[in-house]
Amino acid sequence: MNMDSIVSLCKRRGFLFQSSEIYGGLQGFWDYGPLGVELKRNVKDAWWSDMVSGHDDMSTLPGAPTPYAMEGLDCTIIMHPQVWKCSGHYDLFHDYMIDCRETKKRYRHDQLNGRWVEAKEQRVFVTAPAGDDEQEHLTKQALKFFHLRNKHIDELKWDGEVTCLTEIESFEQVLGPDTNKLGTLTEPREFNLMFKTFVGALSGEEGTAFLRPETAQGIFVNFKNVLDSTRHRLPLGIAQIGKSFRNEITPRNFTFRSREFEQMEIEFFCHPDQSQEWYRYWRDRRLKWYHDMGISEKNLIMREHHKDELAHYSIGTADIEYAFPFMADGEYGELEGVAHRGDFDLRSHMEGKLDETSDSLGLQLDENGKPKWKGSGKDLSYRDDLTNEKYIPHVIEPSAGADRATLAFICEAFYEDEQPDENGKPQTRTVLRLHPRLAPIKAAIFPLVKKDGMPEVAKEVYLDLKKHFKVFYDEKGAVGRRYRRQDEAGTPYCITVDGQSLADQTVTIRDRDTLEQSRIRIDECEQVIRERMNR
């Protein structure tokens, strides 16, 4: 599977466009076109329906210790700045960056690789962005630096393996990836990933606010509101879908790493003693969801984080990862993280952190200029009305990216085969074999030819089905070509009105994946599509 073909299909058929394209685009920002917006909405709707609105709270689901309740929430993107102090994002959510004084380019410290090389009695550490073609880049850099031609490549004496720049202590003998001078890289500096903005007319630190880097915190700070207004007992899951923003240093791989993206998050509040069982439940449940939505087992893995990989809040995390086509062979990219967050967030929003750095944020200061209590001071613990036990719940967090999931569904669905055209010549057919629940258009309706009363009947079928599903009407060109356009859009069913339809009120329905055509009555089209979608 070739990523370039997928990217080209997405642009050609209106799934994804570069944001502000007519001005040259803006790195890390993407727009969803007419087909893309339907697909992504279907991904979010499927998630919401399966996890929240359609959740069976009366039964013990397979693998779950007990029945549980689910509720939804929709919080603001900009929240009180103390939220980010207490969540740890203000102090800890950063990458280490390196600048090149010569080229003014900026790199992530942990994403530059390099290798020692010697020639003409000088030894330097040449660097390149980590990736598939890094050795090629390193060789080019070294040749250029030592003023050697390709035919003298043997004069380069490589020493040791490729290593990350984080292993190198002094940068004096380091050659940046895009320069020809030694020692132009700065020391690594912290770079917070939150986008800053200002609230109200104040432009100084007092009005500083941040675009949320995760939707999760809106759920934590509303935990008590949801509990009190719904009168649920624990365990309780609270779900939210919404935009998050991260000023990623190296946005890349299409929408995989964007600066504006959507998350689908659940914070699941439970008794600490049951938290490990719930952690296992959510890992398995979420993995199964991707399988059910059409991702094959061979392309999906569950990976437990090593201790040193864990985020600051986590006492255990498993990533659900997909074999995206832009990853190297055998490597996977994160689709969703399922984290055991313990009581970190609720406790932190209750008690806060008293540290002296907080005043730079313009947080509450006392009359002596010292930071006041930084948590909310509110009691966010839970009292079980049956046992009277009072505790701070533990939280399991399945946190998925709507854009990454959408991209994974597109990659998984992309398929090319050879089919004969109208003249019997083999033609490459591109198909998006999307799960019918996710497909942007559920059915396309065609008159076989644009005469003999067929368009009139086809339009009636179209208008009738439109009340129930997203459908598409097309009467232009040869019917074979119309089928192929729908295959590319991922439309699972094509309904054709032909000469026979006028006589017996039947149409043909063609299946995108099996290419089988069968004849059904016009008045059963809606029911047949509905049944096939749920198969």
Which residues would be at the binding site for ligand GAP (CB under 6 A)? 214, 216, 246, 248, 257-258, 261, 263, 265, 334-337, 397, 399-401, 403-404
Residue type, 353: K
- When the beta carbons of 257 and 340 are compared against ligand GAP, the nearer one is 257
- When the beta carbons of 102 and 334 are compared against ligand GAP, the nearer one is 334
- When the beta carbons of 397 and 487 are compared against ligand GAP, the nearer one is 397
Angle between helices 3-12 and 402-413 (to 10 degrees): 110
CB of 18 to ligand GAP, least distance (A): 15
- When the beta carbons of 265 and 474 are compared against ligand GAP, the nearer one is 265
Dist CA 129 CA 177 (whole Å): 7
CB 488 within 8 A of CB 432: yes
CB of 184 to ligand GAP, least distance (A): 28
CB of 400 to ligand GAP, least distance (A): 6
Q: Is 522 helix (H, G, I), strand (E, B) or coil?
A: helix
Task: Collect all residues with Cβ–Cβ distance below 8 Å to 341 and sequence separation of at least 6.
Answer: 267, 313, 314, 315, 394, 395, 396, 397
Name the residue with the smallest CB distance to ligand GAP: 401
CB of 389 to ligand GAP, least distance (A): 28
Query: What is the Cα Rg of the chain in Å?
Result: 28
Residue with tokens 């998630």: 47
Two tokens at 334?
């994160």
CB of 87 to ligand GAP, least distance (A): 9
CB 72 within 8 A of CB 240: yes
CB of 475 to ligand GAP, least distance (A): 39
DSSP secondary-structure letter at 206? Answer: G
Q: How many residues does the chain have?
A: 535
**Burial of residue 35, with CB atoms counted within 10 A of its CB: 0-12 exposed, 13-18 middle, 19 or more buried:** buried
Nearest to 409 by CA among 418, 400, 417: 400
- When the beta carbons of 174 and 236 are compared against ligand GAP, the nearer one is 236
**Burial of residue 441, with CB atoms counted within 10 A of its CB: 0-12 exposed, 13-18 middle, 19 or more buried:** buried
Two tokens at 223?
């935990």
CB of 17 to ligand GAP, least distance (A): 17
CB 69 within 8 A of CB 210: no
Phi, psi at residue 137, to the nearest 5°?
A: -60, -45
CB of 481 to ligand GAP, least distance (A): 36
- When the beta carbons of 311 and 350 are compared against ligand GAP, the nearer one is 311
Cα of 414 vs its chain's centroid, Å: 18
- When the beta carbons of 134 and 397 are compared against ligand GAP, the nearer one is 397
CB of 226 to ligand GAP, least distance (A): 17
Phi, psi at residue 2, to the nearest 5°?
A: -110, 125
